[in-house]
Structure 1
């Protein structure tokens, strides 16, 4: 079974429960949170670089002319597939406003490239509703099924853009897995067995950018 359908087509639902307990796809992420001059969050810019094994599987799936590489039209097809398939997962983007989770609007396009044996995706999403710079805001990227590991290699990969955000306090939070498990053992166990294909509980483990204005 190819890795890409498991990631973007939701067929991870067919995988054994045990296989979903840890990631099988790995990606390095970068997230830029952008504020406009009106004092609202205008967009979130994502860059994802996938591991070589997964990237190679994508070439196998989308190399229609069998030339061993992804041509521009094939890269565009990858982007189109991801654009449609990740909508139900909110494009792996998590936003909260004083603890309330917000959806993101569907991006216009997901741009895809292939360099040095790795698949890259670039796209921008916007909050699904007006999001003023007020209170406690959080931003992150994670796969709710935990099949893909979206990792920020350094704190500098979670950044703010815009003068209005300079007036806010912001910090990168990297939860300690042992501490999360200890504090939420009962609820995590119940959530997993009730819905092992993915729950909001997985965001407890995700690296995030916290902004307080």
Structure 2
């Protein structure tokens, strides 16, 4: 039951995602580091998510087995395992484009979870499922395809690159204006999108992202 409640709370599929588009129910401050290796390829994406207090308290209610109003190490580990299983079909909220081609990510080794000052904190790294050389135009973002969770990058510095070669590439943070996205894509944002944005894969148009050109 705890797993089901967490999923229904917004870390996976929803009964009515079209309503969630207009009104996110969960809010998270995010940080993303795009890391390159000595082979001049993308090696991993490092994520840090800090959730709002209301959602965090609901997770405590679900996973606090000993009723001490906090989450102990074993309970935090269970939250991490639950999230790792729940988000697999959503590509861990990760969107990657390699010169226009969508790239999936592999399952993370683990998700580290902490609970501090009334907020849930999650940290994990994902690796591209196929080689990504630093060539052409690359794009990386984090978004919830159900649009139930609002992933917010407070400053442009929260989307950054790590590695000498990738630092030498041109990179910029893109924050799409929802009204402009709607106007520019009115012919493709069909009824299917509004009834099930996860099925159309178009919600990534609204995602804050970092674009890298090498």
Please indicate the TM-score interval, normalised by the length of the shorter structure: over 0.9
Normalising by structure 1, report the TM-score: 0.93
Structure 1 moving runs of 4+ over 6 Å: none
Q: TM-score, normalised by structure 2?
A: 0.93
CA deviations over 1:53-79 (Å, ceiling 9, x no partner): 000000001011111110000000000
Is residue 69 from structure 1 mapped to residue 70 from structure 2 by the alignment?
yes
| CA apart distance, 1:200 | 1.3
C-alpha deviation, 1:15, in angstroms: 3.8
Relative to structure 1, the CA distance from residue 74 to residue 105 in structure 2 (aligned partners, 3 Å threshold; closer, same or farther) is: same
Whole-Å separation in 1 of the counterparts to 2:171 and 2:92: 23
Matches within 5 A, 1:86-105: 86-105=87-106
Q: For residues 15 and 178 of structure 1, what CA distance do their matches in structure 2 show?
A: 22
Say how many residue pairs are matched: 211
- 1:29-178 equivalences under 5 Å are 29-178=30-179
Check the 8 A contact 1:152/1:158 in 2, yes or no. Answer: yes
Gaps of 5+ in 2: none
SS of residue matched to 1:187: coil
Unaligned runs of 5+ in 1: none
Q: Deviations 1:76-104 (Å, cap 9, x if unpaired)?
A: 00000001010000000111101110000
SS in 2 for 1:84: helix
Distance in structure 1 (CA, Å) of the matches to 2:20 and 2:163 = 41
CA separation in 2, counterparts of 1:125 and 1:204?
21
